Amino acid sequence: MDFLIDAWDFNQHPATQLHTPSEATKNTWFHFQRDVEGLTEWLTQAGIPEPLIDAVLEEDTRPRFQRLPDGFMLLLRGVNLN
């Protein structure tokens, strides 16, 4: 999973870092590089709904927060360090 930068499980306190996440579960946070091969397939296999996959893989994403029936989606962009 070259696309995965970081992952955390917030099902417990304190949250624990996931070193080899195999699927998306409730209360899990993923930080990934969207333009790396294999991400689309992994998101699909993890059970992420297609509209959310489309949103995170858009070419020109905008930061946003969206409530979902069983959680939320938070899209952030890279930080300009210049």
Residue-wise pLDDT tens for the chain (82 aa)?
788 888 898 888 999 898 876 666 778 888 888 888 888 998 888 878 888 888 888 887 778 888 888 778 888 776 666 7
Backbone φ and ψ of 39, nearest 5° = -65, -45
SS3 content of the chain, % helix, strand, coil (to 5): 15, 30, 55
For position 80, what pLDDT does the model report?
A: 67
How far is the C-alpha of 17 from the C-alpha of 70, rounded, in Å?
A: 22
Of 70, 37, 72, nearest to 55 (Cα)?
72
Q: What is the DSSP letter of 56?
A: H
Question: What local confidence, expressed as pLDDT, does residue 14 receive?
Answer: 94
- Domain 4-75 CATH (choose: 3.40.50.1000, 3.30.460.20, 3.40.50.1820, 3.60.15.10): 3.30.460.20
pTM strictly above 0.85: no
For residue 23, the model assigns a pLDDT of 63
Tell me which amino acid residue 55 is.
Answer: A
